[in-house]
Amino acid sequence: RVVRATSFAEAALDLKAQKLVALDVRELTSVADTYLLLTGTSDRHTRAIADAIVEKARELGEKPVGVEGYDGGRWVLIDLGDVIVHVFQSEVRELYDLERLFSDAPNLQLDAA
């Protein structure tokens, strides 16, 4: 679980994603085990980060369950099964404030961070 999340985080950080937060949401939702939250600086940047994460999934022999918000590039959600990646632009991340919404979730320490 943490190894996969670390791989996706590294792919994002290679493209200068900002403000990486990894949350262990196993006790809070049945949708996923881990949420990765990342910030991009523009719609183009968020899409590039999303592309890198999807490419990393393919390298691992996986296919995302779904990708939402890619065209707009303000909040791209990548469902990788037990890991869900949220790539936001700053203002959207602040607006939805998932860190507060999932404040009971422990932070995961990833080697990529």
* Model confidence pLDDT, tens digit, residues 24-34: 999 998 899 99
The answer on pLDDT for 1 being more than 70 is no
Phi-psi region of 111 (alpha: psi -120 to 50; beta: other; left: phi over 0): alpha
pLDDT for 93 equals 97
The single residue listed with the structure tokens 């949350």 is 23
pLDDT for 2 equals 78
* pTM of structure: 0.93
CB atoms within 10 A of CB 102: 17
pLDDT for 3 equals 84
Note the pLDDT tens digit of each residue in 63-80: 999 999 999 999 999 999
Burial class (CB in 10 A: 0-12, 13-18, 19+), 31: exposed
The answer on pLDDT for 100 being more than 60 is yes
